[in-house]
Amino acid sequence: MADVYEPWEKLIHIVVLGKVLEVPEKNLLLRQLQYVSEDVGMGRYCWNAECRYCEVHYTRPGDTAEHVGLACRLRGFEGMRLTRLAPEVRYNLNEALARAPTEDEAAAAPPTPSPGE
């Protein structure tokens, strides 16, 4: 079976609806979300920007403007904040978000080493 992830060396932090997730760098956001929830891989996504089931609203560090993108075309980046998710994405991430720490909890916890450290 082929690896579905692009080559990566470390995990980065993104904030999804106030919860902190660690995802592999250098990957499409939809793949990064699949890393924390296998249910994303079973979602009704077309993976080619036609269905819009993976639409997200996000902000960038230092920029308060909200941007809209498709998780199947957008690469997640350190400090990305997802503020709204399409219903399919929210449904597939439900359990992962329930387990994930809030921003305050993550800030108080010691850092997690990346694989290979």
- Predicted confidence at residue 117, as pLDDT, reads 58
In the prediction, which pLDDT does 109 show? 80
- pLDDT at 115 (0 to 100): 58
pLDDT value of residue 113: 63
Distance between CA atoms of 77 and 60, rounded to whole angstroms? 9
Q: What is the structure's pLDDT at 16?
A: 98
Q: What residues are paired with 65 via a beta bridge?
A: none
Residues 6+ apart with CB under 8 A from 18: 102, 103
pLDDT at 110: 74
Based on C-alpha coordinates, what's the Rg of the chain? 14
pLDDT at 1 (0 to 100): 40
pLDDT reported for residue 3: 85
Going residue by residue through the chain, which has 117 residues, state the pLDDT in tens, using 9 for 90 and above: 458 899 999 999 999 999 999 999 999 999 999 999 999 989 999 999 999 999 999 999 999 999 999 999 999 999 999 999 999 999 999 999 999 999 999 989 876 665 555
